[in-house]
Structure 1
Amino acid sequence: MMEFVHVAVAVLGLLSLGHSAPVTSCENLIQPLEIYRSQLLGKWVLQGESTSIPGSKILVQMVMENTWVKITAASEADTFNNLQIQKTMGKCFTRKTNMTLVNNTLTVELPFQNSAVLLNTGCPDCLVIFANNTVGRTTVKDLQLLSRRTKVSAAELEEFTKQAECLNLQPPAIMDLEKGLCPDPSLTPETNFTDVTTHTISSDELSLLEELLSSEDGVKTLFDMIQRSMASVKQD
């Protein structure tokens, strides 16, 4: 059950990247961009996230405080190392994944198949990532806004909200960055991190997650499950 809870939260925060003048029409907002290897590298702070799962916004706002990711170049051409650091109910989680860039598409194979493109944005230091996450026969669409800054403007969040609407996704959850990000694990080895890199999720588990997120009572049930699991981790 603990692995399912970890992955349930990761699905909502995973991933888990050209810029232009401000864009307002759906045609411009959902236009894919050419991806350059150099533009991906560095530290990115998740500002907001929208998915195709009903109820995901409520759960993210109750559970996931904030997330940032560090992208570095791997030894192979057009391959990257992703380190995701997520704060969930005051506890820090890490996940490492490998990402490849082929034909202007970013692909991650584990913990589930993820195929993503970058979308147009008027934010000068942002990445807007639109991904399809596939587990078995289930596909979850995910839209993320990341920035070099720890906080973007209200206008930039409004543009991102419009992008989610254009893609028929749920209203985005906005990250709580006032509570502070988890530190870089490589710089603070004394910090207690929980690594969820090897945790996976089955199609049946994702179906259960979707079922729980489809109603207010289901979201509360999942929230209670996460609270109990987090409490057990603290006791251990």
Structure 2
Amino acid sequence: MMEFVHVAVAVLGLLSLGHSAPVTSCENLLQPREIYGSQLLGKWMLLAESTSIPGSKMLLQMLMENTWVKITAASEADTFHSLQIQKMMGKCFTWKKNMTLVNNTLTVVGDYRVSGVLLNTGCPDCLVIYLNMTMGRIKVRALQLLSTRVRVSAAELEEFTKQAECLNLQPPAIMDLEEGLCPDPTLAPETNFTDRTTDTISSEELSLLEELLSSESGVKTFLDMIRRSMASFKQD
């Protein structure tokens, strides 16, 4: 069942990647922002996420204790290395992906395709990214709030929640970073990390996932499967 946990993380824990400006209306909140490669570089904490999947808030809160992303420049122009570090069930996992920046859009291609644009935000040290992901016949929209801080203000969270509403997405899951982030694996070789970069999804698993995510009742079944998988995983 851990394959389903991985798929859920892939769907919900998508790569995430602003500049301050006053934003109030949906028109302003959904205004795309020009992406400069240098503004993406560094360490970003995932503070909130909203998706188009019913029940995604519960999925996120169940799967992820916290997540952060380290973005570095690649040798090729407009290409970046992304290292995602996630704590799940007290254990640390990593994913490595390459991103390209073309026509103001970030793209990741692998078993699934993710493209993202930055949206307006009044938070001076945040990135708000609107993502579209395709995995087989599954299409997911997501909105993520990242910051160099481990906590943003109530007003900044309220603005992000309004952005999600403007996009007709589910209520956002707010990440709790009080439990402590997993360290940078390059600086803490003694920490036991599980690298999920090369994990793959079979056609049978993908077909099942398509069916489960197509309805609210299917998502509830998916949640039950993950609960059972997590209980088994904790016993290992």
TM score, norm. by length of structure 2: 0.92
Instruction: Output the CA distance in 2 between the equivalents of 1:29 and 1:38.
Output: 23
* Cα distance, 1:228–1:18 mapped onto 2, change above 3 Å: closer
Structure 2 match to 1:78: 78
**Counterpart AA for 2:184:** D
Q: Which amino acid aligns with 1:165?
A: E
Does the 8 Å CA contact 2:105/2:117 hold for their aligned counterparts?
yes
Alpha-carbon shift at residue 67 of structure 1 (Å): 0.3
What residue number does 1:87 align with? 87
Equivalent runs, 1:97-136 vs 2, <5 Å: 97-136=97-136
Gap runs ≥5 in structure 2: none
- Equivalent residues of 2:31, 2:120 under 8 A apart: yes
The answer to whether the 8 A contact 1:55-1:215 is kept is no
Aligned to 1:160, what secondary structure does the other structure show? helix
Q: How far is the alpha carbon of 1:172 from its aligned partner?
A: 0.3
Contact preservation (8 Å) 1:35, 1:104: yes
1:162-210 per-residue CA deviation (whole Å, 9 max, x = no partner) reads: 0000000000000011111111000111111111111233541431441
Give the equivalent residue in structure 2 for 1:56: 56
Distance 1:121 1:231, change over 3 A: same
Query: Where does the alignment leave 5 or more consecutive residues of structure 1 unmatched?
Result: none
- Give 1:198's aligned residue: 198
Tell me the distance in 2 between the aligned counterparts of 1:229 and 1:97: 29
Identity %: 73
Question: Equivalences for 1:184-223 in 2 at 5 Å?
Answer: 184-201=184-201, 202=203, 203-211=206-214, 214=217, 217-218=220-221, 220-223=223-226
Could you say what secondary structure the match of 2:33 adopts? coil
Question: C-alpha distance in 2, partners of 1:195/1:212?
Answer: 31
**Does the CA contact (< 8 Å) of 1:111 and 1:199 recur in 2?**
no
Whole-Å separation in 1 of the counterparts to 2:30 and 2:13: 21
In the alignment, the residues of structure 2 paired with residue 200 and residue 46 of structure 1 have an alpha-carbon distance, to the nearest angstrom, of: 24
* Distance in 2 between residues matched to 1:41 and 1:21, nearest whole Å: 20
Q: Give the secondary structure class of the aligned counterpart of 2:31.
A: coil
Structure 1 SS opposite 2:65 = strand
- SS of alignment partner, residue 59 of structure 1: helix
Aligned to 2:68: 68
> What RMSD, in angstroms, separates the aligned Cα atoms of the two structures?
1.8
Check 1:62–1:2 CA distance in 2 against 1; reply closer, same or farther (3 A cut).
closer
Q: Deviations over 1:35-75 (max 9, x none)?
A: 00100000000000000000010121122111000000011
CA distance in 2, matches of 1:114, 1:217: 25
Which whole-Å CA distance do the structure 2 matches of 1:64 and 1:88 have between them?
A: 5
Cα displacement (A) at 1:156: 0.5
SS in structure 1 of the partner of residue 213 of structure 2: helix
Q: What is the rounded CA distance, in whole Å, between the counterparts of 1:160 and 1:196 in structure 2?
A: 29
Alignment of 1:141-220 (within 5 A): 141-201=141-201, 202=203, 203-211=206-214, 214=217, 217-218=220-221, 220=223
Residue 230 of structure 2 is matched in structure 1 by: 227
- Counterpart of 2:228, as a letter, is M
Q: Scaled by the length of structure 1, what TM-score is found? A: 0.92
